[in-house]
Amino acid sequence: MTESLVTRANDQSSSVRLFALDALNRLQDYRNQDCPVIAQYLRTMKSDTSAENRAMAVKRCSLNKETLLGIIDRCRDEDLRVRKEALKKIAGKVKHHVLTDVQVHSLLKHGLDDDPQVRDVVVNNLIPSWLTHIRKHGRKNEKGNLIDLVMSLDPSSTDGTSFETSRATIEVVFDQWESLEGLVQNYCQASERLVTCNMLPNINEENVGPAVAFTWFHFVQRAVKLGDAEAYMPQVNNIFSSKSNALL
């Protein structure tokens, strides 16, 4: 059956290929490096002329090290349907710590700059998924937060795109709250590294200073925009400049 369906997955008719790709789903073995079904899915998602078929291959293909690279590659596909499917797959199946910092940056940079339909997947699926299970930097058994995601983007890098991608990512997270009180209660109180009891950033932890300062800088900007920030941060005027200079 597998051989017959693989043959159909290469049929001249795109509709025949589509049905074959769907049917092959239960016949694959992601642990087998020589699995013919996995090999077919990789070929299809890379070179099939039909965007619908490439998207189907991404959707049905099981994940292993090789297929993950293929799916990440499809996040730059010429057709937005394929890009959407690839990002949905990563959001639903791939944890943040499995990816390299370069991969995380690429997915967020291109996803947030993409067509609104693709951007929506990044905003509503990918970023929330990563924040749900992200690990604290250097501590595998502790849950992290936005700071750890920003750290992987490295906003202090000389690469200008890292700065902008970090900023865009933070704005996406902060957009969840429409009031200053909601932002403070739901975000800041859950991040011991972002603020202390007096609402000033905590940058004592090794290697997290730039990410904390960068996130805090944008938190203050959002707080000022939403309401009376001084009611929450009475000392902000004295240290605002010094913390933002940490990125220079």
Domains of the chain: 1-97 (1.25.10.10), 134-248 (no CATH)
| Residue 240: predicted pLDDT | 46
pTM of the model: 0.85
Question: Is 220 within 8 Å of 229 (Cβ atoms)?
Answer: yes
**Interval 229-243 mean pLDDT:** 53
Say how far apart CA 121 and CA 144 lie, in whole Å. Answer: 22
Quick one: pLDDT at residue 231?
65
Q: Which carries the bigger pLDDT value, residue 124 or residue 210?
A: 124
Q: What is the rounded CA–CA span in Å between residue 175 and residue 211?
A: 19
pLDDT for residue 226 is more than 70: yes
Evaluate if residue 53 carries a pLDDT over 60.
yes
pLDDT (0 to 100) of residue 191 = 62
Q: Three-state secondary structure along 143-154?
A: ECCHHHHHHHHC
Residue 110 has pLDDT above 80, yes or no: yes
Residues 123, 172 contacting (CB under 8 angstroms): yes
Average pLDDT in the chain: 85
pLDDT the model gives residue 44: 98
Amino acid 242: pLDDT: 46
Integer Cα distance of 66 and 166 in angstroms: 28
Q: Residue 51 is encoded by which pair of tokens? A: 């965007």
> In the structure encoding, which two tokens stand for residue 13, read together?
């008719």
| pLDDT band at residue 239 under the 50/70/90 scheme | very low
Each residue of 180-218: pLDDT tens digit?
777 777 666 556 666 555 556 665 655 557 888 888 888
- What are the pLDDT digits (tens) for 166-182? 999 999 998 888 877 77
Sign of torsion over alpha carbons 35, 38, 42, 43? positive
Q: What does each C-alpha distance from 108 to 7, 25, 85 come to in angstroms?
A: 37, 29, 15
Which has more confidence, 189 or 121? 121
Distance CA 194, CA 104 (A): 22
Q: What is the average pLDDT across 77-101?
A: 96
Mean pLDDT of 110-120: 97
- Of 124, 99, 94, 121, the residue nearest 110 (C-alpha): 121
Q: What is the CA radius of gyration of the chain?
A: 22
By mean pLDDT, which of 33-42, 119-128, 137-146, 149-158 is the weakest?
137-146
* CA proximity to 75, closest of 101, 116, 100, 106: 106
Q: Residue 193: what pLDDT?
A: 62
DSSP state of 247: G
Rounded Cα gap, residues 50 and 82, in angstroms: 10
